[in-house]
Chains A and B, each alone.
Chain A
Amino acid sequence: MSGQEIISSQSLEGLPMLALLVLMLPLISFLTCSIIHKKYANQAARLSTLILASAFIISAYTFSQVWGANAHHFKVEWFSIFGEQANRSFSFGLLIDNVTALMLLIVTFIATLVHLYSIEYMKGDDGFKRYFSFLGLFTFSMLGIVLVDNLLLIFVFWELVGLSSYLLIGFWYQKDSAVAASKKAFLVNRVGDLGFLVGLMILWWQFGTFDLIEIVSNLNDPEYLNSKFGALGVEGSGIDKMTWLTLAGLGLFCGVIGKSAQFPLQIWLPDAMEGPTPVSALIHAATMVAAGVFLLARVFVILSPGAMTVIALVGSITAFMGAIAALTQHDIKKVLAYSTISQLGYMVMGMGVGAYDAALFHLLTHAAFKACLFLGAGAIIHALHRAEHAQNIHFDAQDMRNMGGLLKKLPLTSITYFIATASLIGLPFFSGFLSKDAILTSAYANANSLGGVSVIIPILGLITVFLTALYMGRQIFLVFFGEFRLERHKEETSGIGKHIKENSWQVQLPLIILAMLSISFVYAWSPLDGAEGWAMSTLKNPERATFWAGFVSPVLTKEILHEYHFLISGVSVALGLIGLIAAYTVYKPGKTFEQTYFQAQDYRKGLLSISFNNWFLDGIYHFAFVTPILKISAILNFVERKVIDKAIDLFAVGNVVLANITGWIDRAIVDGLVNFAAYSAGMVGRFTKSIQGGKIQTYFIWAILGMLSLIIWLTL
């Protein structure tokens, strides 16, 4: 679908076979780690790292075969609905095109590094083995999303990554906040997934298949469009086919909103930081949250222009809101989490404005530099944790107020962190510059051609550049420069600085590699323009389905983009530098800063509380949804017990009373009557009594007799 020739086959050989192997390897790792005995936990962890590394090697080979060459498609029937009424097939298939090859590479690569890193980071944890098995489950599900060829299977793996994310966020299950966060993540994601499901329903109803290739070819087929699809679309719904497709696209986008933490469902991602930090790097920064962007790439050609505009708007709003929220966080990981939200907003915005190539490119660069940042933050936290243990005290190792001056103590970590930060801010010579500016340029071109509400998109995007520089500058100054505040401000932690040392090679190696991958030359020779680099020149924007021909669609031609590129990148670099300078002015290390900043910092009040509380979204949702739902369910429970059940109980009591009365009459009549009448009344009396007395055995005989008499009575 990315304009590649597709080689289809029904037999499993060649690349599809290898791809399937890549998919299965993490599953094997998951199963091995699940069943192996606890005392072999260390071996299991090393084994799963090796398994992942081999998956990476196969992925690299696959990438070399597919990238820019032919795509491969393998498809077999999974199950089917057949018979005289309908014949519909649900298929299982693998589609390995450029995007998949790239995603395979990213996922297996970061996963391998995170496995390696975790061997050190999670050392000594009670759930060491469980941790690695969950990582395997996650990697398996994530690879599933990128490999499969149809939307139903994407949904399947989509939910499975949700499960593994749930398990990993709540990994420390004795910690209440972690458990709450994991539940929140799963539920918020499910809200989005309901939309995904509705999108699937619409597509199934319209096309009778989930196979993307088939859907696209249908949309490109004028005959199909005029006959079947046209008829189906309008039939009985009162809504035209165009609107149905827009709704389907928006439904799928709901899933993206959940998984990629877009407005208004971004609230789960900051809480997800309760999970172990390597998990945050792998799942909640580099791969899983980017699955939404991947999904948009997969369905790109079937998105309607209307849906695209909504997507772009949501993306730009998210980018802005996330950046604002990142400004005031104290937790080192929270800043990065909000930053991730903001960057995902960029990617979604890129997809929305039609910059398919740029959005995917940003996914790629972001995966490297954000994983580097998270693993760097983890390295700092880990170093502080070890100091905690060495001194046998407790403090919050994630609170940036406890940090400062770490450049001297953790030089290597600091330098890798700086490189990744520069990339995130989008400074020239770093990868983020190339990809972010490609998105912004397209957003600008899109606004120019569409006008109207689209104008907001590049404006928000550019403001976010400034904000990004501001919050990252703040973090850099708070963490790495000035004095080590923990040592200075607290009595019991004095002298702790000597315990802070660099981590072992398992932690450092991934940092170095990822930092190197944050440099622009990895992606393009030109440090100022990514369009000619290997990533974007191969990930060309696919042709829109013919169905959309005739609708307004922005034209992002090379020439136009090139024309705007200079302007936009100039503005964005300037904004980034201004942001850094602003951060320096406010968070400049020194005596005055220490006094004014740390004594007066209370983000819970005033204007900054909007940032600190992430726009109060949590509170709003609690008030608007959680509380009412719980209240309604309590009311329904009350109705159940006090109304429905009461009515039934009363009815039963009424029956017993009635039975007693008739019983009494029967007995009275029995006394007064003779022979047959007495006998039959006695029968009735005994029957009613038998029910009251619990002699139900006789009921059955009565049922049969009653029935027979009814038969005779009715037939007479």
Chain B
Amino acid sequence: MNQYLLSLLIFIPLLAAAIVVLLPKRLETLYKYVALVASLLQVVLGITLYGGFQAGKGSPVGINDESAFQFVEKLDWITLDLGRLGKLSVDYFLGVDGVSITMVLLSVIVLLVGVISSWNMTEKLKGYFGLYLLLNASIIGCFVALDFLLFYLFFEFMLLPMYFLIGIWGGPRKDYASIKFFLYTLLGSIFILIVMIGLYNSTIDPAATAVELSFVSDVSQVTPEIVSNIQGMLKQGRIAEQNLVHTFNMVHMTDMNNFIPDTFFAVIGKSVVGGLDARLIGFLLLFVGFAIKVPVVPVHTWLPDAHVEAPTPISVILAGILLKIGGYGLIRTAYLIFPEGGVHYAWLVGLLGLISIIYGAMNALSSKDLKKLIAYSSVSHMGFVLLGLASLTSEGVGGAIYQMFSHGVISSMLFLIAGVLYDRTHDRMIENYSGLASKMPRFTAVVVIAFFASLGLPGFSGFIAEVLVFLGAFSSGMIPKWMAITATLGLLLSAAYYLWTIQRMFFGKFSVRFENWSASLTDLGSREYIMLVPLIVLTLLLGIFPHFILDMINASVSHLVTFVTNTGATINQFN
């Protein structure tokens, strides 16, 4: 089964979606069970994946080495002979390394929580669960695809269900929020699309080209010597254009020897557009494309609206997983394909991370809406991902990935908390509540735990992540020291807005805006416990035993850092 694990992860929700669509409407109460079973199966598969993943010192690293990915599935998907234009090849190419497996694990967990959180949905169930499962499949696909076109398809496919899930099941301003989300992300996608096409045009698949040139009869017979042979010929321009097999394979794109000289993103014979190196432009375009998803200030304004208007489960998925696709995409594409961009723009990336941390926290401080506050705290905490990435140190990048996982868990908790309140009163304004602790002591305990987890209290996962980012950012030679020092202000500000919120909403004498709320403000129910307690346990577990994640990612991260800094420096020398 192991060799189809990743496909199973993608196709189980698709199958479930089909079942939901086919089941007649009078059985609509069953839809959620279908979704639940699918998600549970995915969690089981996720655990299998975790168990089967080779981690630790000396394990396969992935990153830029196709043979070092795990659970690889590779099938020819589309092969088009474009005659004079060479060959188009798109693979159904899946695989995980240390960077992506954490994201897959996070996704299956958060998606399961999302299903449980959708339990009380009543409206248009068929559409809701159908779209939810579709979203589920595309999220997993996005994290395991190693072919750029496949990745892009999954990436785009998330957009559609998300648009409808916000636009139909959302809050009062759902139209505005969903369109805004859609347009923003679309803009990002266009940038990514442009780069992807340019990359396709500039890279070859050396193995397939070898077959095309009849060096060998089959791809499986290609040896490293043949590959370097082909790459040498490519460099000297000795391969005819119609024999070049262009590729969307992201792993091939990380090897600068696979770039065809004098093409748009070529390493040798670079193009210059408007005085800027085309490859650096490529980095920037990918950066902007994914920065919108992360989101990075100033392209973040879709997030507060989308998070606030989305129904609770969708907010959970947005904050818990979708933002991470931004960070993941940055690593998988921008940093690995254009490493010199990572080196060249470290300063910019770090600065934007710092700005996001401070700006997001400041906005959270002045938010009057609980959900908006949490949304801005996401902006702030995702800033650490950028800061860690910019540092290009093992600690920093490891911390960035740790932060993505940790924030996925913690922000899910936070949005569930906002949902608990919203379910009871349909109101999220902080000023409308006071002294909830007297009425809902258990809920308050959970809120205090989640808030402290989010403000980086040791013992919770966020602390490990943020400390690693700080250590990396400070020791890095890529970004100035004042960035790490200034970023610590984010810790102070996050403590300020969380504690202030606790003070205003939960402590003091009990009072609410409208008398009739008081009866509906009951303490946590068992379904809510089932969602919240495992997340609390998880964030504690990862705060106390960081090696559960770190051992998995260490080898890959370290290799990534070496690769990006070395290759980046080499490519920069060509200038």
Hey, which bits of chain A sit against chain B, CB under 8 A? Answer: 78-86, 88, 90, 152, 155-157, 159-160, 163, 166, 170, 173-174, 176, 179-180, 183, 186-187, 190-191, 193-194, 197-198, 200-202, 204-205, 235-237, 629-630, 632-634, 636-637, 640, 644-645, 648, 652, 694, 696-697, 699-700, 703, 707, 710-712, 714-716
Min CB–CB distance A347 → chain B (angstroms): 25
In Å, the complex CA distance between A637 and B189 comes to 28
- Assuming the contacts A79-B550, A630-B365, A703-B156, asked whether A183 and B489 have C-beta atoms less than 8 A apart, the reply is no
A-B contact pairs, 23 of them (CB 8 A): A80-B547, A80-B554, A81-B554, A81-B558, A83-B394, A83-B559, A84-B559, A85-B393, A160-B457, A173-B508, A174-B438, A179-B507, A187-B499, A197-B467, A198-B485, A630-B366, A633-B365, A633-B366, A634-B366, A696-B182, A700-B156, A712-B85, A714-B201
Decide: A236 and B555 in contact? CB cutoff 8 A: no
Decide: B365 and A83 in contact? CB cutoff 8 A: no
Q: Which residues of B contact A197 (CB under 8 A)?
A: 467, 470, 488, 491
Decide: B363 and A640 in contact? CB cutoff 8 A: yes
Query: Main secondary structure on chain A at its contact with chain B?
Result: helix
In Å, the complex CA distance between A715 and B204 comes to 13
- Assuming the contacts A82-B555, A159-B458, A197-B470, asked whether A648 and B562 have C-beta atoms less than 8 A apart, the reply is no
The residue on A at minimum CB distance from B149 is A707
Query: Main secondary structure on chain B at its contact with chain A?
Result: helix
Decide: A633 and B458 in contact? CB cutoff 8 A: no
Q: Which residues of B contact A710 (CB under 8 A)?
A: 193, 197
B569 within 8 A of A: no
Min CB–CB distance B567 → chain A (angstroms): 13
Interfacial residues of chain B within 494-543, with CB under 8 A of chain A in the complex: 495-496, 499-500, 502-503, 506-509
Decide: A236 and B477 in contact? CB cutoff 8 A: yes
Min CB–CB distance B61 → chain A (angstroms): 8
Decide: B491 and A174 in contact? CB cutoff 8 A: no
- Assuming the contacts A82-B558, A201-B470, A707-B193, asked whether A715 and B85 have C-beta atoms less than 8 A apart, the reply is yes
Decide: A636 and B547 in contact? CB cutoff 8 A: no
- Which of B57, B61, B366, B506 has the most CB atoms of chain A within a 10 A radius of its CB? B366
Decide: A163 and B495 in contact? CB cutoff 8 A: no
Min CB–CB distance B406 → chain A (angstroms): 14
Within the complex, which residue of B182, B398, B457, B489 is in contact with A159, where a contact is CB–CB below 8 Å?
A: B457
- Which of A80, A84, A85, A160 has the most CB atoms of chain B within a 10 A radius of its CB? A85
B13 within 8 A of A: no
Q: Which residues of B contact A193 (CB under 8 A)?
A: 491
B481 within 8 A of A: yes
Decide: A79 and B470 in contact? CB cutoff 8 A: no
Decide: B509 and A174 in contact? CB cutoff 8 A: yes
The residue on B at minimum CB distance from A153 is B458
B561 within 8 A of A: yes
Q: Which residues of B contact A235 (CB under 8 A)?
A: 477
Q: Which residues of A contact B395 (CB under 8 A)?
A: 81, 86, 88
In Å, the complex CA distance between A637 and B361 comes to 11
Known: A85-B561, A644-B301, A712-B85. 5 other contacts (CB 8 A): A173-B506, A201-B470, A201-B474, A636-B363, A715-B86
Min CB–CB distance A567 → chain B (angstroms): 45
Min CB–CB distance B403 → chain A (angstroms): 15
Decide: A84 and B197 in contact? CB cutoff 8 A: no
- Assuming the contacts A156-B459, A187-B495, asked whether A170 and B467 have C-beta atoms less than 8 A apart, the reply is no
The residue on A at minimum CB distance from B477 is A236
B327 within 8 A of A: no
- Assuming the contacts A155-B458, A648-B301, A714-B197, asked whether A85 and B508 have C-beta atoms less than 8 A apart, the reply is no
Q: Which residues of A contact B556 (CB under 8 A)?
A: 83
Q: Which residues of A contact B156 (CB under 8 A)?
A: 700, 703
Within the complex, which residue of B160, B475, B491, B506 is in contact with A205, where a contact is CB–CB below 8 Å?
A: B475
Q: Which residues of B contact A166 (CB under 8 A)?
A: 499
Interfacial residues of chain B within 44-84, with CB under 8 A of chain A in the complex: 57, 61, 82
Decide: B507 and A204 in contact? CB cutoff 8 A: no
Min CB–CB distance A3 → chain B (angstroms): 31
Q: Which residues of B contact A630 (CB under 8 A)?
A: 365-366
Min CB–CB distance A318 → chain B (angstroms): 22
- Per-position binary interface string of chain B over residues 427-443, scored 1 when its CB falls under 8 Å from any chain A CB and 0 otherwise: 00000000101100000
Min CB–CB distance B305 → chain A (angstroms): 8
Decide: B507 and A174 in contact? CB cutoff 8 A: yes
Decide: B197 and A183 in contact? CB cutoff 8 A: no
Decide: A190 and B491 in contact? CB cutoff 8 A: yes
The residue on B at minimum CB distance from A651 is B183
In Å, the complex CA distance between A600 and B481 comes to 56
Q: Which residues of A contact B367 (CB under 8 A)?
A: 637
Q: Which residues of A contact B557 (CB under 8 A)?
A: 83
In Å, the complex CA distance between A159 and B157 comes to 43
Q: Which residues of B contact A200 (CB under 8 A)?
A: 467, 470-471
In Å, the complex CA distance between A344 and B176 comes to 57
Hey, which bits of chain B sit against chain A, CB under 8 A? Answer: 57, 61, 82, 85-86, 88, 156-157, 160, 163, 167, 179-180, 182-183, 189, 193, 197-198, 200-201, 298, 301, 304, 359, 362-363, 365-367, 393-395, 398, 435, 437-438, 452, 457-459, 463, 467-468, 470-471, 474-475, 477, 481, 484-485, 488-489, 491-493, 495-496, 499-500, 502-503, 506-509, 545-547, 550-551, 554-559, 561-562
In Å, the complex CA distance between A88 and B493 comes to 30
Within the complex, which residue of A85, A176, A191, A198 is in contact with B558, where a contact is CB–CB below 8 Å?
A: A85
Decide: A86 and B558 in contact? CB cutoff 8 A: yes
Q: Which residues of A contact B437 (CB under 8 A)?
A: 173-174
In Å, the complex CA distance between A331 and B437 comes to 29
- Which of A79, A83, A176, A703 has the most CB atoms of chain B within a 10 A radius of its CB? A83
The residue on B at minimum CB distance from A655 is B183
In Å, the complex CA distance between A645 and B308 comes to 15
- Assuming the contacts A79-B546, A205-B474, A715-B85, asked whether A183 and B366 have C-beta atoms less than 8 A apart, the reply is no
- Which of B61, B506, B546 has the most CB atoms of chain A within a 10 A radius of its CB? B546
The residue on B at minimum CB distance from A711 is B197
In Å, the complex CA distance between A155 and B456 comes to 12
In Å, the complex CA distance between A711 and B363 comes to 42
- Which of B359, B438, B499 has the most CB atoms of chain A within a 10 A radius of its CB? B499
Q: Which residues of B contact A84 (CB under 8 A)?
A: 558-559, 562
Q: Which residues of B contact A202 (CB under 8 A)?
A: 474
Q: Which residues of A contact B365 (CB under 8 A)?
A: 629-630, 633
Q: Which residues of A contact B197 (CB under 8 A)?
A: 707, 710-711, 714
Min CB–CB distance A394 → chain B (angstroms): 17
In Å, the complex CA distance between A163 and B453 comes to 11
Within the complex, which residue of B61, B508, B559 is in contact with A176, where a contact is CB–CB below 8 Å?
A: B508
> 10 smallest A-B Cβ distances: which pairs?
A83-B558, A156-B458, A201-B474, A633-B362, A179-B507, A633-B366, A633-B365, A205-B475, A79-B547, A637-B366
Q: Which residues of B contact A80 (CB under 8 A)?
A: 547, 550, 554
In Å, the complex CA distance between A630 and B561 comes to 39
The residue on A at minimum CB distance from B558 is A83
The residue on A at minimum CB distance from B362 is A633
Decide: A204 and B495 in contact? CB cutoff 8 A: no
- Assuming the contacts A159-B458, A160-B459, A204-B474, asked whether A637 and B301 have C-beta atoms less than 8 A apart, the reply is no
Q: Which residues of B contact A715 (CB under 8 A)?
A: 82, 85-86, 201
Q: Which residues of B contact A190 (CB under 8 A)?
A: 491-492, 495
Decide: B499 and A82 in contact? CB cutoff 8 A: no
In Å, the complex CA distance between A271 and B403 comes to 35
The residue on A at minimum CB distance from B500 is A183
Decide: B180 and A648 in contact? CB cutoff 8 A: yes
In Å, the complex CA distance between A155 and B551 comes to 23
Within the complex, which residue of A79, A636, A711, A712 is in contact with B362, where a contact is CB–CB below 8 Å?
A: A636
Q: Which residues of A contact B458 (CB under 8 A)?
A: 155-157, 159-160
The residue on B at minimum CB distance from A648 is B301
In Å, the complex CA distance between A157 and B463 comes to 12
- Which of B359, B508, B509 has the most CB atoms of chain A within a 10 A radius of its CB? B508
In Å, the complex CA distance between A695 and B442 comes to 45
Min CB–CB distance B97 → chain A (angstroms): 12
Min CB–CB distance B35 → chain A (angstroms): 22
